[in-house]
Amino acid sequence: MNQEIKNPLLCDPASGVCEIPAGDEETESVKVVADQKPVKILYYTDPICSTCWGIEPQLRKLKLEYGKYIDIEYRMGGLLPDWSYNSGGISKPSDVAHHWDEVSLYYDMPIDGDVWLEDPLDSSYPPSIAVKAAELQDKEKAVAFLRKLREFVFLEKKNITRWEHIQKAAAAVGLDTFQLKEDFEGKGKQLFEEDLSYGRSLGVRGFPTMFFSDADNNQCMVYGFKPYEIFEGAVQKVFPTAKKQKIVIDSPFSVFTHYPTLTPKEYAVLADISVEEGVNQLEKLVQEGKLEKHAIKTGTLYKVK
């Protein structure tokens, strides 16, 4: 019987997973021991994973409300090695365009799938390697770099396999682009291969995948797109004494002191209001000259002017 091979870019909004084909490697028990903070989160993701973009509101809120307890280690999963995955409803880059538009509406996060029509990516490996190279300089800047790469591909239709766009994203977050280039061509590749190998050994089959663990390796896993309460519950499960630190919002603009760019969905989740109310507040800030916005066909990104 022929078994259908699902294209990794065909993310299932209902299950909230971008899944890759299973390998032949034997899986091992996950050993993610918290050392720096009470809870360690091993996060397997990919720069072009649309579901990972979809959980940005939940993840950003988790960092603010439980940041004192959690340490997140980002791992790259290798969503699209190349276009040899030619079934499951997607056989060529142009097939992804409409799918991304649908995913955007489902998660209420802006995505312009036309990058797959205008300047399609042939792999997600180059931006993944770039993220690992960035980590050699600064872990926090590497996270900001990953975010910028996602904004480039999802909103600005930039092919983030191209060095010119990788370099621009790196410069925007304060990375040394010359050092990044050197590490991108050297150590970054090795680190990425280590991520792929470790992910296979852990049985990581899709993204996002998060392993939550305490110092004694008591753990739980969150797989795919889930509401915020599930991520919050995972932290509390492995560290029951964790206390939520409510996000203090002195004014609508104060939310941007935490994150320089926000979508309406992200803003609404952080401010605990409806998306409609959030848009009204954001548009007022634009009118006051405090924010500027980048609007695409499926939504808007607001950023500090």
Please list the helix, strand and coil fractions of the chain in percent, rounded to the nearest 5, in that order.
45, 15, 40
Q: How far apart are the first and last CA of the chain?
A: 57
* Amino acid making up residue 35: D
The tokens for 217 are: 């390796």
Crossing angle (nearest 10°) for helices 139-155 and 125-135? 160
Q: Mean pLDDT in the chain?
A: 91
Least confident of 44-48, 178-182, 214-218: 214-218
Decide: 73 and 198 in contact? Cβ < 8 Å: no
For residue 238, the model assigns a pLDDT of 95
The tokens for 75 are: 């791992």
**Mean predicted confidence (pLDDT) in 196-201:** 94
For residue 125, the model assigns a pLDDT of 97
Cis peptide before 208 (omega within 30 of 0): yes
Decide: 7 and 90 in contact? Cβ < 8 Å: yes
> What are 210-234's pLDDT values in tens digits?
999 999 988 999 999 999 999 999 9
The tokens for 208 are: 């996002």
Q: Give pTM, 2 decimals.
A: 0.92
For residue 85, the model assigns a pLDDT of 57
Place of tokens 């392993």: 211
Q: In angstroms, rounded to a whole number, what is the distance separating the alpha carbons of residues 213 and 193?
A: 24
Q: Mark out the alpha helices in 203-292 (DSSP H runs).
A: 228-238, 264-271, 275-287
> What are 83-98's pLDDT values in tens digits?
875 544 566 888 889 8
pLDDT above 80 (res 152): yes
For residue 88, the model assigns a pLDDT of 46
